Amino acid sequence: MSAAPEDADARRAIAPVICYPNDSLRVPPLDLYRAARATAQETRRVQVPPREARCFTLSAGSFFRISCPDGPQVGDLNLFAARNLEERFFSGKTRALHGSHVSVGDRLWSALPWLRPMATVIEDTLAWYGRDEHGGRVHDVIGTRCDPYTHHLLTGQDYHQTCHSNLTRALAEHLGKPLSDVEPYIHDVLNVFMCTGFTEDTGQYFMKASPARAGDYIEFFAEIDLLGVLSACPGGDCGAEHSSDAAQCHPLEITIHAPAAGALDGWYSPAPNRYSRRHAPG
């Protein structure tokens, strides 16, 4: 380890600067969304079995809820614009704009060059959790997703029920395409219900048992037409490991609600980012 310079303390004492101040972001009209949700009607319910994934679609202006019907269970969520797989959830920019974990009022943003809200969190029964003594929080956008490649790298084992594998299979089945065609579209996720953080000493990504219980949910307002893919993580509540056939796993449930006519008068789906394409690379 290199020796500390004489001004080491002064260098460490420099105040941090927020990289992306978000004061200028448009504030989501949560009161409008919640009023529309109060009269919305359920249109579809999707069960995601343990260690599997399922796709779902919904129109802009609809609502979708991800819940734990039977017990604590972590889910890995991918989102796409319904008619354009290139426009997908951008976890890194969502993290930069809102922080490492999301809750009510935060938005899930799409990739460049679109960079627009895809969905807004309107309810979260785990919002009470906050930050625990270990630095853990819930619903993270810092993890990637458990995948068979990293699992093989670290253990030498082949495991085929990872979230990456589940998401790939579900999307391929939904689109009627080969696995090899859709795998490149699977992207870093929103880890729904997962409790995570970074260790203070080594800065390593950690997980701990999810505080979710049967009946807990997080609910979103769809800002654009969406195709979603949700995997019920093979790690269950992720209290021990996240690629395992030994962990107790539970199903997840997705419920979709459509608003009543006129409930969203004055609202419009956000357009792609207005940065001039004349200045874009290429």
Query: Domain boundaries in the chain?
Result: 27-260
**pLDDT of amino acid 242:** 85
Q: What pLDDT sits at residue 122?
A: 98
**Alpha carbon 23 to its chain's center:** 22
pLDDT score for 277: 64
Give the pLDDT confidence score for residue 1 in this predicted structure: 78
Cα distance between residue 173 and residue 55, in whole Å: 9
DSSP string, the chain: -PPPPTTHHHHHTSPP--SS--TTSPPP-HHHHHHHHHT-EEEEEEEE-TT-EEEEEE-TT-EEEEE-SSS---EEEEEEETTEEEEEB-HHHHHHHH-SB--TT-EEEBPTTT--EEEEEEEETTGGG---TTS-EEEESS-----HHHHHHHHS---S-SHHHHHHHHHHHHHT--HHHHGGG----EEEEEEEEE-TTT--EEEE-----TT-EEEEEESS-EEEEEEE-TTTT-SS-SS-SSS----EEEEEEEPPTTTTTT--PPPSP-S-GGGS--
pLDDT score of 279: 60
Instruction: Please say whether the beta carbons of 63 and 259 come within 8 A.
Output: yes
Question: What pLDDT, on a 0 to 100 scale, did the predictor assign at position 50?
Answer: 97
* 0.85 surpassed by pTM: yes
pLDDT of 244 reads 86
Which mean pLDDT values do the consecutive 10-residue runs of the chain (282 residues) have?
A: 93 96 95 98 98 98 98 98 98 97 98 97 98 97 95 95 98 98 98 97 96 98 98 96 91 98 96 77 58
pLDDT of residue 5: 95
The confidence score (pLDDT) of residue 278 equals: 60
Q: What is the pLDDT of residue 281?
A: 60
